[in-house]
């Protein structure tokens, strides 16, 4: 029987999947938005099923994911793999997918069967109506066939209704070339993967071209398609491609300990995790681990994905090892952009594995990321870190946030929010906003005689950091401050020096987590205020502009100030804004 209270001491407050086990047998698989909270709920659940499950289990494992949707996908994969007795049996694929076939003239379809290897799958989609809407939009824009004809064929087929209503480009009648058709398929795949930025650009160019050629009906259809894409751009499913099985190797290093997390990807999805701790302080221990591990591990995959600089000697040794065991190569490579989401899961699980191991050695031992951060900044103490972030809605409704972490862990009761007061105009000035928040925060801590931070983390570059340092000097304090620049995720020091840390750095991952938490907290507050307030945008004073048109204007120009400066011709380029409305907007904003 497991001691759930003891296990909960090390469980993170992150999304993921948990597994109740008896020895190596999986009894139950569940998902959670917050693993710690979900597993804590089992302490108060007195149902017979839960009591029996806890009594039969002798361990709990968990895999961290980056969001709830990833946790759902992983839960489904693990249930299919292990068939746990305490889970409700799944009958086939419970959720629909969109599939594009790997033919010379690919077709698109909705399916619940993902076992066929000659297709690329997108999903699953929890809402069954969503893939129908998405496939309809995709076919309207890119005109991909959905018929079962075997193409190419010598026979020239008669055009069907799908062509005449504009949902197919007629490859069966040889109206479109293979190259042109597959270019449309490639764009459709990008859309279904969720890479909408390039599609939006393509559609805007097509709309502009259609208007110039006086093809207004085509422009209207493209505009409607663009609007639909803007609505769904953040709600796509996860792309899965069963063409290549992979092992993702994540790692975390702290002094003499290295944690390895192997995420196993088979048939287009994550199906499991293996974790290891290396206590050797020898050089190249990651290389030695891989060689030792794959001497006996299953080699039923094509690529080993890891962000690590290997020596030529190791690469030769690995190649020889694989060739001695199987009659094909296994490629070692770094993650590409489409794999980064899964690779981040591997790295985060490795970090959590290392934390658990260090905690098991000594409760008093310092958090490994804090240990690394102290060395990096040459500080004796980095116990209390406070991060500051500014959020606004296109220059309006500016707010600030402060989040507090002690020994690498969030202290949510100490989080604070601030409405920015000292802005006399609508100009976006993050520097002044940061000054205000830092000043108000330090003044309050001094007045209430509370602990000051050992380190202040600012989201931004040297300009934002200098704003915070200006206030710290006003109070004549010795608080250290750094900034984390988003573009390259580089640390900026007080003297302007920029430090780039490797992806496996625990210090980097900690400050990224703290920065993201500050951003989330500020954004949450900003949205809350926006919901409560009446409409205050100057766009609301212009008659004839719907909410959708306001959103299109903001998306296109980026801020109210840029809309003010736009000419009538520039305003007309926005989808849905005609000559009459463009003149009206221009007139109202120039008054």
Of the two residues 495 and 94, the one the predictor is more confident about is: 495
Q: For 57-71, how does the pLDDT look when each residue is reduced to its tens digit (9 = 90+)?
A: 999 999 998 777 778
Comparing C-alpha atoms, which of 298, 294, 303 is closest to residue 241?
A: 303
Q: What's 28's domain CATH number? A: 3.40.1440.10
In this structure, are 261 and 338 located in the same domain? yes
Indicate the average pLDDT of the chain: 83
**Range name among 103-112, 268-277, 298-307, 528-537 with the lowest pLDDT average:** 528-537
The Cα–Cα gap between 328 and 184 comes to 34
Banded model confidence at residue 477, pLDDT cuts 50, 70, 90: very high
The H-or-E segment that residue 253 falls in is strand 246-254
Identify the domain boundary among 59, 82, 105: 82
CATH of residue 355's domain is 3.30.420
pLDDT in tens, 226-256: 776 665 554 444 444 555 789 999 998 876 7
Percent of the chain with pLDDT over 90: 28
Are residue 508 and residue 574 in the same domain, yes or no? no
CATH number at residue 580: 1.10.150.20
Predicted pLDDT at 243: 56
More confident residue, 312 or 129: 312
List Cα–Cα distances, 129 to 96, 126, 134, 235, in angstroms.
Answer: 10, 9, 9, 13
Does some domain include residue 62? yes
Q: Are 503 and 374 part of one and the same domain?
A: yes
Task: Examine the pLDDT at 427 and tell me if it is beyond 50.
Answer: no
275 and 232 inside one domain: no
Mean pLDDT for 496-509 is: 85
Instruction: Report the domain count for the chain.
Output: 5
On whether residue 87 sits in a domain, the answer given is no
- Whether the bond between 124 and the residue before it is cis, its omega within 30 degrees of 0, is yes
The answer to whether residues 78 and 213 belong to one domain is: no
Name all contacts of 181-190 with Cβ < 8 Å and 24+ positions apart: 181/105, 182/105, 182/106, 184/142, 184/143, 184/144, 185/100, 185/106, 185/142, 185/144, 187/142, 188/100, 188/108, 188/138, 188/141, 188/142, 188/144, 189/100, 189/120
353 and 387 in a common domain: no
Among residues 345, 361, 377, which one ends one of the domains? 361
Compute the distance between CA of residue 524 and CA of residue 401 in angstroms, rounded to an integer. Answer: 10
Q: Residues 472-501: what's their mean pLDDT?
A: 90
Query: Reduced to 3 states, what is the DSSP secondary structure of residue 223?
Result: helix
Instruction: List the CATH number of the domain containing 510.
Output: 3.30.420.340
Residue 248 parent element (H or E): strand 246-254
| pTM of the predicted structure, to 2 decimals | 0.49
Query: Are residues 517 and 377 part of one domain?
Result: yes
pLDDT surpasses 60 at 393:
no
Pair 526, 469 in one domain: yes
Task: Give yes or no: residues 315 and 382 share one domain.
Answer: no
Which region, left, alpha or beta, applies to residue 196 given φ > 0 means left and ψ of -120 to 50 means alpha?
alpha
Give the bridge partners for 303, in sequence order: 246, 331
What pLDDT was estimated at residue 440?
A: 94
**90 within domain boundaries:** no
Q: Taken in order 501, 505, 510, 515, is the CA torsion positive or negative? A: positive
Judge whether 89 lies within some domain.
Answer: no
Structural contact between residues 553 and 572, judged by C-beta atoms closer than 8 angstroms: no
pLDDT score recorded for residue 533: 45
Domain boundary among 361, 392, 427: 361
Rg of the Cα trace of the chain?
A: 28
Same domain membership, residue 257 and residue 355: yes
**Residues 134, 178: one domain?**
yes
Residue of 544 and 519 predicted with greater confidence: 519
Let me know if residue 494 belongs to a domain.
yes
In terms of phi and psi (left: phi > 0; alpha: psi -120 to 50; beta: otherwise), the region of 271 is: alpha
Q: Ranked by mean pLDDT, which of 128-132, 151-155, 283-287 comes out on top? A: 151-155
- pLDDT given at position 587: 77
**Residue at 576 is within a domain:** yes
Residues 225 and 202 in one domain: yes
Residue 34 structural domain: 4-82
560 belongs to a structural domain: yes
H/E stretch holding 389: strand 384-393
Q: Does residue 48 form part of some domain?
A: yes
């Amino acid at each position: 029987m497991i001691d759930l209270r003891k296990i909960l001491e090390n469980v993170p407050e992150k999304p993921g999947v948990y597994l109740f086990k008896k020895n190596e047998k999986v009894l139950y698989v569940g998902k959670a938005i917050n693993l710690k909270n979900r597993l804590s709920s089992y302490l108060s659940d007195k149902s017979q099923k839960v009591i029996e499950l806890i009594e039969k289990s002798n361990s709990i494992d968990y895999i961290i994911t980056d969001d709830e949707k990833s946790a759902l996908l992983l839960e489904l994969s693990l249930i299919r793999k292990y068939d746990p007795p305490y889970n409700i049996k799944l009958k086939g694929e419970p959720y629909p997918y969109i599939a594009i076939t790997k033919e010379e003239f690919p077709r698109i379809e909705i399916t619940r069967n993902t076992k066929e290897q000659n297709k690329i799958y997108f999903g699953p989609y929890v809402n069954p109506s969503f893939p129908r809407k998405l496939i309809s939009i995709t076919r309207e824009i890119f005109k991909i066939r959905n018929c079962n004809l075997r193409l190419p064929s010598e026979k020239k087929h008669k055009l069907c209704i799908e062509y005449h209503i504009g949902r197919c480009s007629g490859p069966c009648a040889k109206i479109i070339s293979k190259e042109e058709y597959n270019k449309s398929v490639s764009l459709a795949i990008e859309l279904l993967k969720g890479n909408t930025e390039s599609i939006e650009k393509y559609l805007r160019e097509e709309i502009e071209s259609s208007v110039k050629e006086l093809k207004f009906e085509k422009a209207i259809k493209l505009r409607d398609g663009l609007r639909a894409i803007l609505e769904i751009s953040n709600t796509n499913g996860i792309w899965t491609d069963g063409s290549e099985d992979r092992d993702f190797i994540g790692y975390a290093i702290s002094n003499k300990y290295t944690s390895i997390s192997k995420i196993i990807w088979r048939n287009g999805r994550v199906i499991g995790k293996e974790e290891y701790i290396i206590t050797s302080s020898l050089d190249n221990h990651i290389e030695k681990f891989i060689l030792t591990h794959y001497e006996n591990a299953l080699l039923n995959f094509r690529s080993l994905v890891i962000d690590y600089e290997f020596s030529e000697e190791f690469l030769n040794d690995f190649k020889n090892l694989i060739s001695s065991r199987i009659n094909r190569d296994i490629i070692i490579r770094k993650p590409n952009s489409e794999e980064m989401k899964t690779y981040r899961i591997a790295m985060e699980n490795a970090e959590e594995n290392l934390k658990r191991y260090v905690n098991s050695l000594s409760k008093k031992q310092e958090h490994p990321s804090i240990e690394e951060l102290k060395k990096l900044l040459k500080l004796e103490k980095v116990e209390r870190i406070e991060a500051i972030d500014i959020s606004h809605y296109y220059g309006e409704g500016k707010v600030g946030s402060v989040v507090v972490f002690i020994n690498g862990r969030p202290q949510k009761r100490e989080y604070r929010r601030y409405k920015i007061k000292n802005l006399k105009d609508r100009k976006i000035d993050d520097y002044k906003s940061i000054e205000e928040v830092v000043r108000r925060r330090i003044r309050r801590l001094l007045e209430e005689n509370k602990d000051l931070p050992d380190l202040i983390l600012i989201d931004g570059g040297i300009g934002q950091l200098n704003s915070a340092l200006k206030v710290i000097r006003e109070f004549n304090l010795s608080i250290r401050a750094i900034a984390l620049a988003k573009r390259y995720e580089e640390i900026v020091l007080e003297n302007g020096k920029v430090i780039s840390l490797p992806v496996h750095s625990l210090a980097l991952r900690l400050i990224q987590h703290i920065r993201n938490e500050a951003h989330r907290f500020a954004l949450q507050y900003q949205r809350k205020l926006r919901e409560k307030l009446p409409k205050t945008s100057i766009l609301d004073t212009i008659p004839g502009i719907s909410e959708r048109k306001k959103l299109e204007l903001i998306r296109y120009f980026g801020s109210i100030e840029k809309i003010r400066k736009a000419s009538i011709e520039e305003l007309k380029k926005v989808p849905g804004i005609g000559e009459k409305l463009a003149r009206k907007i221009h007139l109202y904003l120039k008054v």
